[in-house]
Chain A
């Protein structure tokens, strides 16, 4: 059974960097049949795909246009996890952030969610 465990701070100061980690159990971050994604949910934006990382003989990252200049998603094979960094945050980045596994273009497994508030 695949499980995704998220961690990271729930409060981030405006203009700073939001950093979250998603630890994978029951699968490998290096699997060549899945992609590891970050999604956020807010009342104003609904469910919004942010980006992903995946391995297909080499590592790839894909990002949503709305955050492309500010986002980095990286795998960590030594810890079987992947991370999200979102720079220069504003209150509009306040949301519940989820990590999830994408397989056959379906999100089968989700992390528990992390409520992130951007506030001074």
Chain B
């Protein structure tokens, strides 16, 4: 099973600044099978980024994803109040079971 490790566990950033979230895989993951999700309290996760760098429909361009192999990054620029949430990376390299990272909580500084 591929283990995803996200860092940091909690990230404190001021509105208007840029947040950089990391996701490291225990073995190589195809970029086609790496996604990022945002979760707010009491809500289901929402797809932000698929294929490591493709924004989902309706996702603002301040969200961007990058990376390959075992290192992936989600960058959120010009942070807005609605961006403070928990972010999860997710890999689906080995059918049928995908795995999630443990999440990074983005909080207001």
Contacts and interface: CB of A to CB of B under 8 A. Distances in A.
Interface of A: 35, 46-49, 52, 62, 64, 98, 100, 102, 104-108, 110-113
21 contacts: A35-B96, A46-B100, A46-B103, A47-B103, A62-B97, A64-B97, A104-B50, A105-B32, A105-B33, A105-B92, A105-B95, A106-B50, A107-B45, A108-B47, A108-B50, A108-B56, A110-B45, A110-B46, A111-B44, A112-B44, A113-B44
B47 A98 contact: no
Given A64-B97, A105-B98, A108-B47, A47 B88 contact: yes
B99 A49 contact: yes
Contacts, number: 49
Most B-side CB within 10 Å, residue of A49, A52, A105, A110: A105
Q: For the complex, would chain A's binding face be called helix, strand, loop or mixed by DSSP majority?
A: strand
Interface residues of B, number: 23
Interface of B: 32-33, 35, 37, 43-47, 50-51, 56, 88, 90, 92, 95-100, 102-103
